Amino acid sequence: MTAPPRRCLLALAGALLLSACEQPQLYQQRMVVFGTLVDVTLWGVAERDAADAMQAISERFRDMHRDWHAWQKGALVELNQALAEGRAAEAPPELVSLLRQASELSRRSEGLFNPAIGKLIAAWGFHSSELPKGRAPPPAALLDALVAADPDMGDLEIDGTRVRSRNRSVQVDLGGFAKGYAVDAAVLELRRRGIRNAIVNAGGDLRGIGSKGPLPWRVGVQHPQGAGVLATIELRGDESVFTSGNYARFVEHEGVRYPHIIDPRTGRPVMGVTSVTVIHSNGAEADAAATALVVAGPRDWQRIARAMGIRHVMLVDDSGTVHMNPAMEARVQFQGERPPVALSPELE
């Protein structure tokens, strides 16, 4: 590796971190979207082109945030209102494309990834930035009724950009999927501009393309119990790494934590799984799969991963045991003490 030019200095301007070298190499910008910090890092792109790309991406993100939000006024809230009333609604084309992809992934996950369960997610109090503390769980009768109503993405009837539902209990919540789709859209935008080396990181869920110059992009998977990094992964060309955690977002009542991933079969939060990390080509599938595999849990993750075409999985259960397949084991480098590992047969 050649030494950086001596006149290379690090300029910090607001949210913009730019390595201001004679030939800029790393260019990073932070944005706030979907309630998370999104860091976009480019390597080897001229400053002007980098700034233009960032501008385009942040505008796309802003539109997505507005159109896909589950409880703030916008296109998805309007669509959900129409679905509940049995009406057809006109939806923005990109939201329709998201619905189509989410339906397909829901089907492949045997319904464990089910973005049609918005009513259940709202009933548990997760349609809020400030999660309720100390509030009792919803009554069992309500949860059972919401499960019995059987909301399914397959109930949606999509005709061009007109969407309606055969089942009025369908309320779409894209919280388990939108980030993946958005990361893919950002990568597409970068590629369209001829940018080949980049990483789009939405709060630890990311997709990388190319490399960081002579080195591969190296990313960390957050430790689900406490601070720090559980493991690092080197990306190979174009790859996504997504983690669904049951540790980050939860409501609490009488000392019991109810995490934000709901088992659509029971209407109750999934207990016993701390996190699932997957490596996969695109972000949308990785995101849906990570959520589905939390629901699948230690017993069923291999079957669901195969059904969804996922080849690299790491599931951490509540006892701290790391369940993974050999291909995933070959990719992760644990930081610090190696946790107990339960190795599965290969997923191919």
Kindly list the residues in this chain that would bind ligand AMP in the complex (CB under 6 A): 113-115, 117, 121, 126, 173, 175-176, 244, 249, 260-262, 264, 287, 290-291, 295
If the CB atoms of residues 291 and 302 are measured against Mg ion, the closer one turns out to be: 291
* In the complex, least distance from residue 270 CB atom to ligand AMP, rounded to whole angstroms: 8
Q: What is the contact mask toward Mg ion in residues 228 to 247, using x (rule: CB under 5 A)?
A: ----------------x---
Contacts of 123 (CB under 8 A, 6+ apart): 138, 142, 143, 146, 267
Q: Which does 275 bind (CB under 5 to 8 A by kind): ligand AMP, Mg ion, none?
A: none
Nearer Cβ to ligand AMP, position 112 or 328?
Answer: 112
CA–CA gap between residue 331 and residue 348 (Å, rounded): 15
**Of ligand AMP, Mg ion, none, which one does residue 241 interact with (CB within 5 to 8 Å by kind)?**
none
Q: How far is the CB of 291 from Mg ion (least distance, A)?
A: 4
User: Beta partners for 294?
Assistant: none
Residue from the set 80, 291, 302, 325 that interacts with Mg ion by CB under 5 A: 291
Q: Min. distance of Cβ 176 from Mg ion in angstroms? A: 4
Nearest-approach distance from CB 160 to Mg ion, in angstroms: 28
Tell me which residue has tokens 């493991």: 231
Q: Which is nearer to Mg ion, 290 or 310 (CB)?
A: 290
| Contact of residue 38 among ligand AMP, Mg ion, none (CB under 5-8 Å per partner type) | none
CB of 238 to ligand AMP, least distance (A): 20
Number of separate helices (H) and strands (E) present in the chain: 8, 21
CA distance 272 to 128: 24
d(CA 296, CA 307): 12
Instruction: Tell me, by CB under 5 A, how many residues bind Mg ion.
Output: 5
Q: Given candidates 287, 302, 313, 315, which one binds Mg ion under the rule CB under 5 A?
A: 287
The whole-angstrom separation of Cα 39 and Cα 198 is 10
Closest residue to bound ligand AMP by CB: 175
- Whose Cβ is closer to ligand AMP: residue 7's or residue 299's? 299
Residue selected from 115, 176, 204, 245 as contacting Mg ion according to rule CB under 5 A: 176
Residue closer to ligand AMP by CB (options 99, 295) is 295
Q: Between 34 and 217, whose beta carbon lies closer to Mg ion?
A: 34
Q: Please give the Cα distance from 296 to 290 (Å, whole number).
A: 10
Q: Is 50 or 294 the residue whose CB approaches Mg ion more closely?
A: 294
Q: Which amino acid is at 88?
A: A
* Minimum distance from residue 214 beta carbon to ligand AMP (Å): 33
Closest CA to 311 of 328, 296, 294: 328
For the record, the structure tokens of 127 come out as: 């349609």
Beta carbons within 8 Å of 309's beta carbon, 6+ residues apart: 108, 285
Sequence-distant contacts of 82-88: CB under 8 A, at least 24 apart: 82/163, 82/164, 83/156, 83/163, 83/164, 83/165, 83/168, 83/170, 83/171, 83/172, 84/168, 84/171, 85/168, 86/164, 86/165, 86/168, 87/164, 88/159, 88/162, 88/163, 88/164
Instruction: List contacts with Mg ion (CB under 5 A).
Output: 176, 244, 287, 290-291
